[in-house]
Copies of this chain bind each other. A is one copy, B any other.
């Protein structure tokens, strides 16, 4: 499917080639407004992470709702969004020294790009580029708030030396953290505690820098789960969150949303059956869903996705339990005995929507979104991939 236009073409779901990615615009808009209100009420800025949708039309709606600046996961996202007029951009992956040149080019083109480091070598590379070439990339120090991935712990002996090197070069802009461990929480109490941990450790790092006489204007935290469950954010200046814009089954499993709130789905067509096994074969395989099995470790494993009818109503007991490249195998949770006559229930040619485990991964398998309002196709939005 060629995605070259955002204009409407008169079409219904029946006219679509499958598999394709659908976005229910009303659900998305509700999520955008709800998160913006929540972060507004907490008194800080919302800087959405655009890595989930990689789509200008989506980010424009987040900006219209009140978002301030965006977060990106690649310099390609920075370049695409900067060219489209988003000029306040945080590149939230530790900067490889080899990327300083590309980042500097964006700054020279007018982008207010900020970058992230968590080690002395990268800080020195940035300082050296500033000295040698006048490259000025405001830099946040990544703080490890959960032992999950990158960052220096707030009590690390490296925190102040990194800050000092950046400050000496005129680059220190603050601290940031991402509490990815929030994806492993169970229940509201754990999520609230994780949000507080993320806040407290990032603010502690900021206070240590300030105590050493260094400036720390930005204190940036976030993930969709912690943004959804944070009760108060004293000391924080901004929240980053990405996946909330579409939501997904991992978020539903955490209690962040309900399956009925998920705006992204994959439309697939029934192409066969194995009646004895209760299998329904579709053309929605892992190429369309991604290989992401994010609900595998949750109490309710949703396979490669939860099945809905063509109009988006959840068929609670039907999941894509197996996937090949271009084949999905839909099964009833209760097995063949519970499935009944699958060929009668889901005849060849039936259209199904499948809700994704992980919206970022599923969306990345597509080059655009078909925007739907109930059974009507109301637009097509391109997205981009790559680096």
Contacts and interface: CB of A to CB of B under 8 A. Distances in A.
B364 A386 contact: no
Interface stretch (A104-112, A251-259, A319-327): A319-327
A37 interface: no
A20 B387 contact: yes
A77 to B, nearest CB: 10
A286 interface: yes
Contact of A293 (B272, B291, B349): B291
A180 interface: yes
Interface string A157-197: 00000000000000000000000100000000000000000
Copies of this chain in its oligomeric complex? 2
Contacts of A329: 149
Interface stretch (A27-35, A89-97, A129-137): A89-97
Contact of A348 (B20, B93, B119, B274): B119
Interface residues of A, number: 60
A78 interface: no
A326 B73 contact: yes
A259 to B, nearest CB: 21
A272 B118 contact: yes
Nearest to A19: B387
Interface in A302-352: 322, 324-327, 329, 343, 347-349
A74 B121 contact: no
Interface string A361-387: 100111100000000000000000111
A18 B97 CA distance: 11
A122 interface: yes
Contact of A93 (B270, B286, B327): B327
A292 to B, nearest CB: 4
Interface in A115-149: 118-119, 121-122, 125, 144, 149
Contacts of A200: none
A102 B18 CA distance: 12
Contacts of A324: 149, 180
B272 A150 contact: yes
Nearest to A329: B149
A26 interface: no
Given A96-B269, A349-B97, A326 B149 contact: no
Given A18-B96, A150-B274, A180-B324, 12 more contacts: A17-B99, A18-B387, A73-B325, A94-B281, A96-B271, A96-B283, A96-B349, A118-B272, A119-B343, A122-B348, A286-B292, A286-B361
